[in-house]
Structure 1
Amino acid sequence: MPILGEIANNLILPLRLRNFRVFFIGQSFSLLGTWIFVTAQRWLLYDLTNSAFFLGILGAIGSLPILLFSIPAGYLADHLPKRNLLLLSQSVAALQAGILTFLVVSGRVEVWHILSLAFLLGCTVALEFPVRHSFIFDLVGEDSLVTAISLHSTAFNLARFLGPAIAGFLMAHFGLWTCFLANTLSYLPIIFALAIIPLSENHKGVSKKPWEGLKDGFIFVLNSRQIRRILLLIATTSIFVLPYAVLLPAVVRENFGGGGKEFSFLMAANGLGTLTGAIFMAAFGRNIPKDRFIPANMALLCIYLGGMILSKKFYLACVLLIMSGFHMVCMFTSANAFLQLNSPDDLRGRILSLFSLSFLGLFPLGSFWAGTTAQYFGPKWTLLAGLTIALVLSIWQGLIPSLKKAENR
């Protein structure tokens, strides 16, 4: 079948490139270890404190470095060898994982250890995100970029599925410490992969003071309506839409009278949607025009999430969360590729740092807004208000360019 052959060819095109193939395999092991770690880390902290408050503190501390350091990390990505920066970030992440493993095995772990190491890990994520995604561009080029990003997203969401299950098995049969050891060992493949990938000469030496270099990135964004538009959509989604995951337990209890079992089922449904979306983008995303595809997926994400929040039928809510996860991944994957393809080579890292800031860095602010507002108006109306804001913006940003094109004909 010709169409199936074309899909298969699209999927394997980046994997034919030796350097990307090596990087992808190593990164897949690292992602799996990360999700094993996240599951065990949260359980360890809760076991030590018996406090949901500290779980919130853990999330905030882990995300704070992304808010603080994403933009400087983008500057480094544009001026220093990306492979070396990734080697540094992965080595530091492996070190913190090893320290936590030792503390757990020796029985000396305390709450401040977990929080301090979470901040250190957040610093490595802040450095790694813009560097890693611009490094993927260097490995595959423009033609295979969307597929490569989608394959990376597929590995991420597959690890999101498998990691907690593996962590549960390890905790039940071998003890909590084995989860942290598994995470420590999971960094070895990506460190080895990066070490054998030849150092690229595509980086530009530091020729300006850091502030001047950062200013160049901001000026480019301010002068590019399309880049500004995409970053605005991503930031709005991060603040007003993504906090649904934080308030989902409350929605489960209010709408369905459910508990942990129902919550886990809904999260699994959402994860299935994100995995399906990543596979779809890997197969078809290369040929999709992204300027209107991004706001269209944002609008559909808001509509399906709104339906889930209003639904009183549990299995309908599961289907709606599958669809929500699908469109969420389509939106973010397309936005990532769009920003990279429309950025100059010497500014790509700085543009991706703004994407990281808009996507990951603003999420804690959205969670704080949602949690505070939900105390006064309830989780359902808080989420619906945020979804309405995002839906109006997505329609406006998706419709206005079409109207301008029609006027110019």
Structure 2
Amino acid sequence: MAMMTQMWLIFDLTGSALQLGLLGLARAIPGVVLNLVGGVLADKVDQRKLLMYSTMGMAGLYSVLATLTVAGVLEVWHVLSVVFFTGAFEAFQQPSRQSIFPNLIDRKDMMSAVGLNSTIHPGTRIFAPLIAGVLIDHVGMKHEGAATALYLVAGLNLVFSFALFKIHMAPVKRTNSTGGFQSLTQGMWYVANNRIFMLLILTSFSNAIFGMAHVTLLPVFTEKLMGESTGFYLALLTSAGGVGGLTGAFFAGSLGSIRRRGWLMLGGACNFGAVLILFAIAPVFWMLVGLEWLASASSQMFSVTAQSTLHGLVPDEYRGRVMGLWGMTHTVAQPLGGLQLGALANAIGATSALVISGSFAVVFALGG
């Protein structure tokens, strides 16, 4: 809900695909360094508390942005600044979130658990964007509906923080290294010397840069085919992606006993890029909706299978750092991909830009 609202605000204020790309850059910059630091902290400190405090910080940022919006003084740099600091908090939040749940389950149920955990993000994308779209289009004047959506996101983050406060976990094995830099280099060296980890993380980065970054251009494609990028049409596309992601996560999670996971990952990654090429040349909006569903389902099939493989192989004392690198898919790779895609779309058009990007995603998946 928050990202869709921020995208709508930027596009409403500027009408520029390049500005949508800058939104991704603002989110990526803090993640370049802090995601690795967040992984180190997740291996050293109480993951529950780290997750709780970072979520509270994000709630405060969304409240500030909502207040600026409803006051009628919102400018583009306000949105970019809040997205920047939100990216910093996400860099600490994501490794902790990914590191907690494997310690709550039996390892033989890992793939099913990863599938269930992976339904959270696409699940919220189903109804949250629709709610945000209705608020944007029908509440108050100008940007007041967007402000209401941001206040709602801030409140939900506070509720989540309070729920974390009530949770008590059994002790988890921590890393034995003393220095933060030593822990960071150990984690990087551990991943670099494991071919499977490197392949999965690099493929995830490729999917994010050349594939998942296409969400940056959703307002552009909506305006192209519908004449305007209203909150409702944008929410419909985003929700279709949520339903697709949920479908892909459930399907991959149900295959917990499958042995040839490599073929499932390859199929998901290749199909993701191919569907985005079709998305780029779709002549009508309702085809976009269906293709967004299929693209998200394919992406989640790869993601769930790859994450379950990582969780099944990595020891607890390295889990935070490994998942911190994996988390850079969302906090760094996808936003940077949004920047390059927005700049390319600004230069040669959204259709050509996405065809090129989707083709790169397919080539990298096959080459890996």
TM-score range (shorter-chain normalised) is 0.7 to 0.9
State the match for 1:188 in structure 2.
Answer: 158
Contact 2:21–2:216 under 8 Å retained in 1 = no
1:318-329 equivalent positions in 2, closer than 5 A: 318-329=289-300
Query: Which of 211, 214, 222 is 2:192 aligned to?
Result: 222
One-letter identity of the residue aligned with 1:116 = S
1:385 is aligned to 2:350 = no
Does the 8 A contact of 1:79 with 1:203 survive in 2? Answer: no
Percent of residue pairs identical = 26
* CA–CA separation in structure 2 for the residues paired with 1:350 and 1:61: 23
Offset at residue 129 of structure 1 (A): 0.7
> Equivalences for 1:257-272 in 2 at 5 Å?
259-260=228-229, 265-272=236-243
The one-letter code matched in structure 1 to 2:316 is D
The equivalent position to 1:130 in structure 2, one of 73, 79, 95, is 95
After superposition, what is the alpha-carbon deviation per residue over 1:274-332, rounded to whole angstroms, capped at 9, x for unaligned?
A: 222123234x1422343332122111222222333344465555433322221111111
Give the one of 1, 20, 25 matched to 1:60: 25
What is the 5 A alignment of 1:296-307? 296-307=267-278
Q: Do 1:270 and 1:325's aligned partners in 2 also have CA atoms closer than 8 Å?
A: yes
Q: Distance in 1 between matches of 2:62 and 2:221?
A: 34
Contact 1:83 1:194 in 2 (8 A): yes
Contact in 2 for aligned 1:234/1:359 (Cα 8 Å): no
Q: How does 1:8-407 map to 2 (within 5 A)?
A: 35=1, 37-44=2-9, 49-50=13-14, 52=16, 54-104=19-69, 111-171=76-136, 172-173=138-139, 175-176=144-145, 177-204=147-174, 207-248=177-218, 259-260=228-229, 265-282=236-253, 284-289=254-259, 290-312=261-283, 315-375=286-346, 377-397=348-368
1:10-31 residue CA offsets vs partner (Å, 9 max, x unmatched): xxxxxxxxxxxxxxxxxxxxxx
Cα offset for 1:169? 3.8
What one-letter code is carried by the residue in structure 2 that aligns with 1:320? L
Instruction: State how far apart, in whole Å, the 1-side matches of 2:70 and 2:288 are.
Output: 41
Work out the CA distance in 1 between the residues paired with 2:35 and 2:120.
Answer: 23
**Does the C-alpha gap of structure 1 residues 266 and 296 become closer, same or farther in structure 2, counting only changes over 3 Å?**
same
Q: How many equivalent pairs are there?
A: 359
Contact 1:81–1:203 (CA under 8 A) maintained in structure 2: no
User: What is the letter of the counterpart of residue 142 of structure 1?
Assistant: R
Q: Provide the C-alpha distance between the structure 2 equivalents of 1:189 and 1:257, rounded to a whole number of angstroms.
A: 37
Which piece of structure 1 moves more, 266-275 or 125-134? 266-275
Unaligned 5+ residue runs, structure 1?
A: 1-34, 398-409
Q: Distance in 2 between matches of 1:208 and 1:278?
A: 37
Once the two structures are TM-superposed, the CA of residue 46 in structure 1 deviates from its matched residue by 5.6
TM-score normalised according to structure 1 size: 0.76
Which deviates further from its counterpart, 80-89 or 311-320? 311-320
- Distance in 1 of aligned mates of 2:289 and 2:78: 37
In structure 2, the CA distance between the partners of 1:94 and 1:319, relative to structure 1 (3 Å rule), is closer
Paired residue type of 1:62: R
Q: How far off is 1:78 after superposition?
A: 0.9
What letter is aligned with 2:325? L
Q: State the Cα deviation string for residues 361-409 of structure 1 (Å, max 9, x = none).
A: 1223322333344455544443333333332332343xxxxxxxxxxxx
TM-score normalised by L of structure 2:
0.84
Going from structure 1 to structure 2, the CA distance change for 1:376 and 1:217 (only over 3 Å counts) comes to same
| TM-aligned CA distance change 1:137 to 1:314, over 3 Å | same
Change (3 A) 1:315 1:46: closer
What root-mean-square deviation, in Å, do the aligned CA atoms of Structure 1 and Structure 2 show?
3.0
Decide whether the 8 Å contact of 1:238 with 1:360 is kept in 2.
no
SS at match of 1:198: coil
| Greater displacement, 351-360 / 169-178 | 169-178
Mapped partners of 2:191, 2:315: distance in 1: 11
| Comparing 199-208 and 336-345, the one that deviates more | 199-208
Q: Structure 1 residues 104, 375: closer, same or farther in 2, change over 3 A?
A: closer
Letter in 2 for 1:239: I
CA drift of 1:240 comes to 2.0
Q: CA distance change for structure 1 residues 38 and 263 in 2, over 3 Å: closer, same or farther?
A: closer
SS of residue paired to 2:174? coil
CA, structure 1 residues 104+92, in 2 after alignment: closer, same or farther (shift >3 Å)? Answer: same
- 1:215 is displaced (CA, Å) by 1.4
Q: Distance in 2 between matches of 1:173 and 1:279?
A: 35
